[in-house]
Structure 1
Amino acid sequence: MTSTETAVPMLITAAPNGAYKQAADHAAVPLTAAALASTAKACMDAGAAMLHLHVRDAQGRHSLDVATYREALAAVRAAVGSEMVLQVTSEAAKVYQAPAQMAMVRELRPEAVSVGLRELDQPDIGDAGLASFFGWLAAERVMTQVILYDAADLLRWQALRRAGVVPDAPWSLLFVLGRYSVGQRSSPSDLLPFVGAHTGAEPWSMCAFGPTEHACAVAAAALGGHVRVGFENNLFLKDGSLAPHNAALVAQAADAAACLGRPLATADQLRAAHALGYSN
């Protein structure tokens, strides 16, 4: 058996737009359902098995509107078929509060969702509210990625798991290296506190900010993690030049996986692993 056959497949998630990027930042930032669909197809062809998508209102602002999500998801699904897992964001983006974020997820019931732990872990929600929401996600088998901004967030997640507030289910984690700020450049060393504190079995991905995104992705891949890349957090190729489109950032990550002997995960593998997590 070759090393490629034994290596853990690496998941590449494309994050093509985020809550804040506009056409003024890059003409290829997808802001409509049609643009998301064509971008998703290009990123899939470059090696991404998951799409992390945000939708915008008529003025191009961040939105969690369920009808807008359904329109975008339908357009993307028509473009990629079943070959991508479609993950919606529940991000607050300084617009929404936890009750509205959770209500959107319950109404939409997406295939996959990302949730920021510190956004939901609020006094007005409490452990009871968290238990209800995460219990619903587990019962509905929504593929859920928990966003963690530092090692303290990871320790809080672990405490909630130990206390039984969050039930056993195939959760995954996203380690965010840095913050949304002008000129932010993440460093591969930003991964170390997360990796050192991660004692669970949950698979983890990383996202990073700025032109060093690719270096961080390579470090994550080498450490057995998965990667999320795209215009949400970075517009530049590894050589510092402006990326022509999101698919170019995905292709870089795919090349890194190949160099490390890691095959690329497929959407079907991701779904199968998620389903298997319920039978353990």
Structure 2
Amino acid sequence: MTKPCILCVAITGSVPTKADNPAVPITVTEQIESTHAAFEAGAAIAHCHVRNDDGTPSSDPDRFARLGEGIRMHCPGMIVQFSTGGRSGAGAARGGMLPLRPDMASLSVGSNNFPTRVYENPPDLIDWLASEMRTYEVTPEIEAFDLSHILQAIRLHGAGVLYGKLYIQFVMGVKNAMPADKDVFDFYVRIMRERAPHAEWCAAGIGPNQIVVNEWAIAAGGHTRTGLEDNVRLDKAHLAPSNAALVARAADLCAKYERPVATPAQARALLGLHPDG
């Protein structure tokens, strides 16, 4: 298999803290430095959240602006992907950074259970976020926590609601949502091939499922996500020393399956993004 594999690094998220792993980057400066190291290890996409000074989740557009600017300066060509997830804001605040025109932004097209709460994505909010992404020419990365999210994304893209090329990420292993189940994963892949053959897809595993799902995705010809947002450990006994270490581990799997790690330029071409960012 010679198709390049896009490696996405989810650098921070909204949940992990330095108490979980001192390597979790919290400040914008820390995030830029961590992203640069992950970029040099092979990551072509930076999936970005921002935090307040006390480490709590934020959706502050100014923080997103400084983070995006720093990544573009230090990681030439890297795809900047901002999160519109619900842990860092509510309602329109979740899309307040979209006028900054990142290359991509995450978009959830349905609701589901999370470990301690319901992750609410009502239809009117989905429609508004999708409209803002279209207005500012931001390609969505669909975060699918359930089969219905995949089918809904395919439907919305076919109806012209979603901007750009369809890109769906399977998120597996969140407690109370879809587990990391190989039969389910294989079914997801088949659905994508049969119903969205021109789309690209990615997969992410949470916690110890990270390396497992990385390998499934790489072996099946998809793309994959890693990083400290999803998993703070290399194994039960060892914390991950950095985002770069998790990216390097995924890159080793690409070598195992004889797939080249996608350069930023190759990733942009595969995802239909502007070649110059």
Between the aligned partners of 2:50 and 2:238, the Cα distance in structure 1 is 27
The C-alpha deviation readout for 1:240-280, integer Å capped at 9, x for no partner, is 63222111111111011011111111111222334479xxx
Match of 1:143 in 2: 139
AA of the residue aligned to 2:79: V
**Aligned pair 1:39/2:34, yes or no?**
yes
AA of the residue aligned to 1:29: V
Label 1:196 to 1:271 Cα distance change in 2 as closer, same or farther (>3 A).
closer
The C-alpha deviation readout for 1:67-124, integer Å capped at 9, x for no partner, is 11111222233322x142111111111x53343323x143322222111112685244
AA of the residue aligned to 1:249: L
Match of 2:117 in 1: none
RMSD: 2.5
**Aligned pair 1:271/2:237, yes or no?**
no
Unaligned segments of structure 1, at least 5 residues: none
Question: 1:179 Cα shift?
Answer: 1.3
Label 1:187 to 1:238 Cα distance change in 2 as closer, same or farther (>3 A).
farther
Match of 2:90 in 1: 97
What is the TM-score of this pair, normalised by structure 2? 0.85
Structure 1 contact 32–72 (Cα < 8 Å) conserved = no
Between the aligned partners of 1:190 and 1:28, the Cα distance in structure 2 is 32
Between the aligned partners of 1:69 and 1:248, the Cα distance in structure 2 is 24
Match of 2:122 in 1: 122
Bigger radius of gyration: 1
What is the TM-score of this pair, normalised by structure 1? 0.84
Any idea what SS the aligned residue of 2:234 has?
A: coil
Between the aligned partners of 1:169 and 1:178, the Cα distance in structure 2 is 28
Match of 1:61 in 2: 56
**Aligned pair 1:88/2:82, yes or no?**
yes
Structure 1 contact 207–213 (Cα < 8 Å) conserved = yes
Any idea what SS the aligned residue of 2:155 has?
A: helix
Match of 2:3 in 1: 8
Label 1:246 to 1:77 Cα distance change in 2 as closer, same or farther (>3 A).
same
Structure 1 contact 137–144 (Cα < 8 Å) conserved = yes
Bigger mean CA offset, 165-174 vs 41-50: 165-174
Any idea what SS the aligned residue of 2:13 has?
A: coil
Any idea what SS the aligned residue of 1:117 has?
A: coil
Label 1:111 to 1:185 Cα distance change in 2 as closer, same or farther (>3 A).
same
Between the aligned partners of 2:258 and 2:236, the Cα distance in structure 1 is 22
% identical equivalent positions: 28
Label 1:16 to 1:185 Cα distance change in 2 as closer, same or farther (>3 A).
farther
Any idea what SS the aligned residue of 2:19 has?
A: coil
Between the aligned partners of 1:123 and 1:143, the Cα distance in structure 2 is 19
Match of 1:74 in 2: 69
Label 1:70 to 1:203 Cα distance change in 2 as closer, same or farther (>3 A).
same
AA of the residue aligned to 2:140: T
The C-alpha deviation readout for 1:206-243, integer Å capped at 9, x for no partner, is 11111231121111111111110011111222586322
Question: 1:165 Cα shift?
Answer: 5.2
Between the aligned partners of 2:121 and 2:27, the Cα distance in structure 1 is 31
Bigger mean CA offset, 33-42 vs 111-120: 111-120
